[in-house]
């Protein structure tokens, strides 16, 4: 049986202050756990309902009810693991970097991380007030992509000021159409808060404001959806120009 203290400890990792204190986070479900393992994340504990999912690894078998006690999900997963947070490397000098200002919805951030993985990006830079990427809801939404994306938390304005080798493109409702914009230079794509968009301070650091043209009557696009559309156009343009 898993002890009450173990269950309590895992549950406490749902809180950011506890994750920061222990330098640990939780991943749920065998697919996500396998992705972090493949990426050489250090695993501290592995709890499984079905031992056949992790043959050759050390684990503790738990009942469905014990798993339910540890999990944040309504339907308990088949497995749950506690990993160390990685030591963050320097930001790569890749052709596209996504920067996020004050993104608050865990599902949005998780989807953005997954989109960056899909389009072959390596780094996301988040403002300090963006939701924690190790929030359990974010981890689940990435579907394992967090294992391949470096998520950096920085004071966004000073960092943007020093990125003079990049064109800084900010998303707005009234910018230049992404279909007539040039993405030939190394680009930082800045996405703002779901409700407020980019702050005035960050807007002043943007070289060019861009938008997705609207053809219907919808008031706006979800931040993650907009990120996917723009990244698709950036990659299409870069491929065509080559």
Bridge partners for 60 per DSSP: 47
CA distance 210 to 224: 16
- pLDDT by residue for the chain (242 residues), tens only, comes to 789 999 999 999 999 999 999 999 999 999 999 999 999 999 999 999 988 889 888 999 999 999 999 998 999 999 999 999 999 888 888 899 999 999 999 999 999 999 999 999 999 999 999 999 999 999 999 999 999 999 999 999 999 999 999 999 999 988 999 999 999 889 999 999 999 999 999 999 999 999 999 999 998 899 999 999 999 999 998 876 65
CA distance 138 to 170: 23
H or E element, residue 18:
helix 16-22
Bridge partners for 197 per DSSP: 193
Q: Is 110 helix (H, G, I), strand (E, B) or coil?
A: helix
In the prediction, which pLDDT does 184 show?
86
pTM beyond 0.75: the answer is yes
Q: Is 183 helix (H, G, I), strand (E, B) or coil?
A: coil
Residue 186, judged by CB atoms within 10 A of its CB (0-12, 13-18, 19+), counts as: middle
CA distance 97 to 125: 8
Quick one: tokens of 102?
Answer: 């004050």
Q: How far is CA 77 from the centre of its chain?
A: 21
Bridge partners for 177 per DSSP: 211
| Pairing mode, strands 123-127 and 150-154 | parallel
């Amino acid at each position: 049986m898993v002890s009450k203290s173990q269950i309590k400890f895992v549950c406490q990792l749902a809180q950011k202050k506890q994750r920061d204190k222990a330098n640990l986070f939780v991943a749920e479900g065998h697919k996500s756990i396998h992705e972090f393992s493949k990426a050489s994340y250090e695993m501290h504990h592995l709890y499984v309902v079905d031992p056949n999912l992790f043959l050759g690894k050390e684990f503790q078998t738990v009942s469905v009810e014990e798993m339910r006690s540890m999990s944040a999900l309504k339907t308990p997963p088949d497995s749950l693991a506690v990993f160390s947070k990685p030591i963050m490397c320097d930001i790569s000098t890749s052709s596209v970097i996504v920067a996020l200002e004050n993104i608050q919805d865990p599902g949005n951030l998780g989807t953005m991380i997954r989109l960056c993985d899909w389009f072959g990006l390596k780094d996301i830079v988040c403002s300090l007030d963006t939701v924690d990427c190790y929030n359990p809801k974010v981890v689940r939404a990435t579907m394992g992509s967090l294992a391949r994306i470096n998520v950096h938390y920085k004071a966004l304005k000073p960092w943007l000021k020093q990125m003079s080798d990049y064109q800084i493109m900010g998303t707005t409702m009234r910018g230049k159409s992404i279909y007539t914009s040039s993405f030939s230079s190394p680009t930082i794509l800045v996405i703002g808060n779901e409700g407020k968009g980019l702050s005035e301070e960050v807007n002043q650091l943007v070289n060019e404001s861009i938008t997705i043209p609207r053809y219907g009557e919808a008031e706006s696009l979800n931040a993650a959806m907009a990120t996917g559309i723009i990244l698709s156009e950036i990659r299409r343009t870069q491929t065509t120009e080559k």
